[in-house]
A and B are shown apart, each in its own frame.
Chain A
């Protein structure tokens, strides 16, 4: 067998094989159009190689001419498939150039069948035999067809189109594809065009061997595509890995979310849709399939918490962005659940809220612990009050006996007056009025005591400082008299009301005043003084200072007076001041102690001014 037959048959065979492979690839993945186009390119190259071989082996000019005419069909297919391949593979190229290439080539194809013997020759006069690769092959001699220009023009436009697409892809950053695909198409098309030009216009005496350079083109394209196939399989592997990773992450996340008892939700504001995880639905008492909207969720909330949550949401959507809030959920199966919810609003470029994402957590146990702590604190405070009332008991008994004694004496006097023949009615009227007044006085003492002995939670409201200190003064008046202590209370008339709980603040004041009195035990009678002064401290707080004229607090003990169980008294529990500080801190105030420069100690605490007043 000759070299020519071997080489051209191999070219055809290789091309057909590649075409078959990539046809299969395309059949597996119909969206990979580049593979189909490559397949067409390879088939057309194979067909063209076959035509070339036939021409080299042609016995008559007619046989040569017919083969050359039909060879235009694979060329047409080749050009069209290349245009398509460039467009798809490089994702570039001007459309009008593409159409122009295809149009010119199609025109060339039609001309080949309509004008002259074929596109290249008007007429092939005879065949000449030359030596090629060590054997004799036929080449045509005849009149060149001027319409051949159309075909060559189409190849030039193809070159420009490909070069342009290559440049675009290069600029875009696809340097490798631009170099190999763009570069090789330009190069091999250029080479085969020049060769055929030289041959057809009779400059060079040689057979048409364009299929060799087209073979190179097919090889480069095939290599490129195989790289793609390889990369795709690699991607599939990676994707699978990352999918596994994603699934693993998702798994871990849901484990963490479940472990933390977190419910996740997303609210799409544009579509007015709410998606929530199963855990979230469980937290709020929704079944997994139940449709969700804001209204149905709000309905689940404890009525007292609805408005607060709506305000929080409105504020977050209006630009606040994120929020954190707590509320109670009333479960349909009964019972109450405390939920802590955090949300993050996502805004679009124009600042419009798009969606809200968030997590909700069951904090019932925490709340319960908090409530228990509060209850315990309340109990401790109550014990503190009861203990204090014990201290005050004898003075308070005196305080009650005073009006009761007056009532008794008045009643006895009235009885005696009425035994007169003509009783003095004015006197009796005055007595009755006094009895009523003293009864109220005794009742007030009992009410004050009962108020302090009651077990009650912190109930804050606006309190007049003068009234508060007046009540406290009434409670300790008798004790101060018994201990020969002068109690001074100073409240400016224009002091704004504070926000606080009457009973608990009375407790704090009593505690500090009694401590002050205790500190005066060693002081001479004329010097025993406890003064309570209230004053405005800044725009938002009132400061109350309780000073004594005792010996003050030793410097090393000053830091410990608020420590639980720290006491300097023989019978002290050391709970009074810690309880008092807890109460003041629960009011949002501060509590501290200091020594006076003139001797004695001062305990100071602050209280917030009642909101409605502070707001003015």
Chain B
């Protein structure tokens, strides 16, 4: 099943608390799904599911922090929000460093919980949008040929067609043709827009993406 509606996925080994939390969040209008253990949740994780995870920090077997790292490595890194029976500072530090949305006590005021859930959902939407945009950009850059990439590298450095032609040992007209193909493939109008898009995609800064 594909979850198009953002859903709050609650993971807690205490069935009573699980039911109660899901009741409250449903009453506040959220779509809710419950799991009694981290492994059960991971087994049912949909790669397209929108939403966030609300997890108990202390669970037998796989605990909250284990779930957080497993989730981060998955194809759907949903934001995670921790609940705990009692404040445990070392665990909360680890959780927050690893990018947890929040770290709340189980008896925290409901507004705090609801706000945290909302923030997590918003963050998921934002991150998802970002991820989509990134995927789209990469798709566009992936269309460029090897030579077009070489030309692009020179263009974003602000070099003139003549200089580029000299550097690459090709005709100036050929450089012009490559530039036209680049703007068409990347769907940009100006050099300024091209530079911004290249920065955004991290083409020449991310070491992982060095051109083969």
B27 and A417: CB pair below 8 A? yes
Contact of B20 among A394, A399, A401, A434 (CB under 8 A): A434
Chain B residue with the shortest CB-CB distance to A431: B23
Partner of B85, one of A409, A413, A478: A478
B28 on the interface (CB 8 Å rule)?
yes
Whether B85 pairs with A441 at a CB distance below 8 angstroms is no
Given the known interface contacts A409-B21, A409-B110, the answer about A416 and B14 at a Cβ–Cβ threshold of 8 Å is no
For residue A397, which residues in chain B have a CB less than 8 angstroms away from its CB?
Answer: 85-86
Give the chain A neighbours of B2 by CB distance below 8 A: none
Taken residue by residue from 190 to 207, chain A's Cβ proximity to chain B (1 for < 8 Å, 0 otherwise) reads as: 000000000000000000
Given known pairs A402-B14, A402-B106, A482-B58, the reply for A410 and B85 (CB within 8 Å) is no
Counting CB contacts under 8 A, is B17 at the interface?
Answer: yes
One digit per residue, 1 when the CB lies within 8 angstroms of any chain A CB and 0 when it does not, for chain B 13-34 equals: 1101101110110111000000
How big is chain B's contact interface, by range?
Answer: 20 to 34
Determine if B60 is an interface residue (Cβ-Cβ < 8 Å): yes
Given A413-B24, A413-B27, A416-B24: A401 touches B85 (CB 8 Å cut-off): yes
A484 touches B63 (CB 8 A): yes
Inter-chain contact B63/A405, CB cutoff 8 Å? no
B107 at the interface (CB under 8 A from A): yes
Complex contacts, B148 vs chain A, CB 8 Å: none
* Cα–Cα, bound, A412→B107 (Å): 11
Q: Name the distance in Å between A506's Cβ and chain B's nearest Cβ.
A: 22
Complexed CA–CA distance, A481 and B63 (Å)? 9
Is B105's CB within 8 Å of the partner chain A? yes
Residue on A nearest B18 in the bound complex, by CB: A406
Q: Which of chain A's residues have a CB closer than 8 A to the CB of B106?
A: 401-402, 404-405
Question: Known interface pairs A401-B105, A402-B17. Does A409 touch B23 (Cβ–Cβ under 8 Å)?
Answer: yes
Taking CB atoms, residues of chain B closer than 8 Å to A480 are 60
In the bound complex, residues from chain B placing their C-beta under 8 Å from that of A412 are 24, 27, 110
Residues of A within 8 A of B155 (CB): none
Query: Is A437 located at the chain interface by the 8 A CB criterion?
Result: yes
**Contacts of A486 on B, CB cut-off 8 Å?**
60
Q: Which of B40-93 contact A (CB under 8 A)?
A: 58-60, 63, 83-86, 88
A:399-448 near B, CB below 8 Å:
399, 401-410, 412-413, 416-417, 427, 431, 434, 437-438, 441
**CB atoms of A481 and B20 under 8 A apart:** no
Query: Across the interface, which residues of B come within 8 angstroms of A87, CB to CB?
Result: none
With known contacts A413-B27, A416-B27, A481-B60, A402–B20 Cβ distance under 8 A: no
**With A404-B107, A410-B24, A434-B19 given, can you name 13 additional A-B contacts, CB distance below 8 Å?**
A402-B14, A403-B17, A405-B85, A405-B107, A408-B110, A410-B19, A410-B23, A413-B24, A413-B26, A416-B28, A438-B16, A438-B20, A482-B58
Where the two chains meet, the residues of B that have a C-beta atom closer than 8 Å to any C-beta of A are: 13-14, 16-17, 19-21, 23-24, 26-28, 58-60, 63, 83-86, 88, 105-107, 110
Q: Can you list the 10 inter-chain pairs with the closest CB atoms, starting with the nearest?
A: A398-B85, A405-B106, A416-B27, A409-B20, A413-B23, A401-B85, A413-B24, A406-B20, A406-B17, A410-B20
Contact surface of A with B, Cβ cutoff 8 Å: 394, 397-399, 401-410, 412-413, 416-417, 427, 431, 434, 437-438, 441, 478, 480-482, 484, 486
